[in-house]
Amino acid sequence: MKKITASVLSTFILAMGILSGCGKTDQSVGSESNEDKSKVVTIEAQTAAPEITRVENLEKAAEKLNEELKQQGKDIRVKVKTNLFEGSWEEYAKQFMLAFKAKKEPDIYATGHENIGWLADGNYILPLDELKKSKEYSDVFSTLWDSVTYKGHIWGALQDTEARPVFYNKDVLRKLGWSEEQINNLPEKVKNGEFTLDDMTKLAEEAEAKGLVQFGIIHRPVDGPDFHVMVYNFGGKLYDPEENKIVLDKKAVEKQLNYYYEIAQKKLIPGNLTQMEWSSIHKAVVNGKALFYYGGIWNVFNWSQDNFHEKLGKVDEKWINEHFGMMLIPAAEKGGKPITLSHPFVYTVSSQTEHLELVKRLLELVANPALQAEHDVKTFHLPVTKSAAEHPDFKANETLGNVTYMLEYTTFIPNHEGFPKYSKAVFDAIQAVELGKKTPKEALKDLEVQLKNDLGDQLKIVE
């Protein structure tokens, strides 16, 4: 009997031990002292893979901050603890949400600007209006402020931006009989509205018909901001800032769906494009199986990181520039304005941070032109300030220099909290028309029902 009781008790104690082990493990406490007796404050920063320079730059900025603090005679030193997240964007958002509730979130959370809506609505982050007035951010490309503005406040420190050009395969155009001059002039023709979206489709058809490429056009395989640029291109709107509502612009969305329907019906895109893996997309493009690719300037970085090319493996910038050109998304109408979409990355600040003043100063210092230029050149992004765009390191990069003009043609997706739902529903509609399961008209009808159900009074329908 005694033995049984003892074993039961020990099981119980063991179980309690395991259970308590599941609970909160103590995080390393922010403050400790080092040899020069100054207090060390740990600021945690997190970003998503693969661009680790986004947080590494904060570490470098902390060095400068520490010098400043030393000069001011303050006995505080800042240490930045970095964290690189690997996984999907949804998981990245979910992880922050749950970490925040467990009070384990990073002080600085780097994310895409479109997340500002739900982060601000959920009181996850703090407004950073002072940043706009700071010296470091005084020469930001002014349109970029729109991307971090929500409900009249600034919610993020702009980190970088990019261009989402259409890559075109120069080898294919050469085989089509284009001269080098014609090939290199294509971006200019797009810029002037001489080469339209229809011309692009026709050219893709021609290349495919002649057997030069397997696919005329490839776009991203998963939901993302790129698809919505077509609404702007067809003259539509996505957001009404006055009413703070998502807009379903039916005319523009129908044209958008028509476009994807058309390129699918003409078999210009892979039949299962929306089921493909990113790596297959990169492989198809790098190996010259497609003429046009709706990509992003950072793909140059991706292609140099992995063995996508069948023979060469990793390909460098020089190789890419020899074989690919980059142009704006052609205008929908002749003589119209071409378009692109940018997706600025921003540092947001947790509303639970205990070191707000230090974090703010850190975010000012991280906008340093040299730090920006280093990140931009390494990962193929564009700077957010004019001084960084003028930095010699940035200017030395030919690829980036060639696309910086695209910032003048850029647009953003809205910061509204409900936009991810809109985006998901539109992506489903695009998938349906591409797979031939619905006609654009049917898809639009279903989309309207879906959005009304998902967004309720957050939706405004424009006929």
Partner 1 sequence: MGSVLKKWKLPAIMLGPFIVLIFLFFFLPVVLIAILAFTSMDSAMRWDFNGLANFQKLVTDPNILLIVKNTVIYVGFTLLINVFFGLVLGILTTYFIQKESVGLFFRTIWMLPRISPPVVYVLLWLWFFDPSEYGVLNSLRAIFHMPPKEWLTTHPMVAVILANGLIGASFGMIIFSSAIKSIPKDLFYAANVDGASQWSIIKDIIIPAMRWPLMFVTLWQFLSLLTSYEYILLLTNGGPLFESEVLALYSYHKAFRNFEFGYGSAISLVLVLIALIFSFIMWKLFGMKKMMGSSRIE
For partner 1, the binding residues (CB under 8 A) are 4-5, 8-9, 11-12, 15, 90, 93-94, 97, 101, 118, 121-123, 271-272, 274-275, 417, 420-421, 424, 428, 431-432, 435, 437, 446, 449-450, 453-454
The residues facing 150 across adjacent strands are 153
CB closer to partner 1, 59 vs 121: 121
Reference 48, options 80, 81, 93; nearest CA is: 93
Residue 62, judged by CB atoms within 10 A of its CB (0-12, 13-18, 19+), counts as buried
Question: Are the C-beta atoms of 446 and 429 separated by less than 8 Å?
Answer: yes
* Residue 456 Cβ vs partner 1, minimum distance, rounded to whole Å: 8
CB closer to partner 1, 297 vs 432: 432
* Residue 121 Cβ vs partner 1, minimum distance, rounded to whole Å: 5
The single-letter DSSP state of residue 246 is E
* Residue 409 Cβ vs partner 1, minimum distance, rounded to whole Å: 31
CB closer to partner 1, 245 vs 375: 245
The answer for residues whose C-beta is within 8 angstroms of residue 411's C-beta and 6 or more apart is 229, 232, 339, 340, 341, 342
CB closer to partner 1, 150 vs 324: 150
* Residue 457 Cβ vs partner 1, minimum distance, rounded to whole Å: 12
CB closer to partner 1, 52 vs 435: 435
The single-letter DSSP state of residue 396 is T
CB closer to partner 1, 16 vs 49: 16
- The DSSP string of 182-230 is HHHHHHHHHHTTSS-HHHHHHHHHHHHHTTS-SEEEE--SS--GGGGHH
Question: Are the C-beta atoms of 332 and 233 separated by less than 8 Å?
Answer: yes
* Residue 207 Cβ vs partner 1, minimum distance, rounded to whole Å: 21
The answer for residues whose C-beta is within 8 angstroms of residue 20's C-beta and 6 or more apart is none
CB closer to partner 1, 1 vs 209: 1
* Residue 453 Cβ vs partner 1, minimum distance, rounded to whole Å: 6
Question: Are the C-beta atoms of 232 and 185 separated by less than 8 Å?
Answer: no
**Number of other residues whose CB lies within 10 A of the CB of residue 227:** 21
Task: Count CA within 13 A, CB hemisphere, residue 340.
Answer: 28
CB closer to partner 1, 4 vs 29: 4
Reference 61, options 370, 344, 345, 357; nearest CA is: 370
Q: Which residue type does 390 have? A: E
* Residue 310 Cβ vs partner 1, minimum distance, rounded to whole Å: 14
CB closer to partner 1, 11 vs 184: 11
* Residue 353 Cβ vs partner 1, minimum distance, rounded to whole Å: 18
Residue 373 belongs to what H/E stretch?
helix 369-379
* Residue 6 Cβ vs partner 1, minimum distance, rounded to whole Å: 11
Cα-trace Rg, the chain: 25
* Residue 395 Cβ vs partner 1, minimum distance, rounded to whole Å: 40
* Residue 450 Cβ vs partner 1, minimum distance, rounded to whole Å: 5
Tokens of 249: 């612009």
The Cα–Cα gap between 341 and 228 comes to: 9
CB closer to partner 1, 240 vs 448: 448
CB closer to partner 1, 94 vs 104: 94
Reference 413, options 223, 264, 195; nearest CA is: 223
Tokens of 274: 């929306």
**Number of other residues whose CB lies within 10 A of the CB of residue 74:** 12
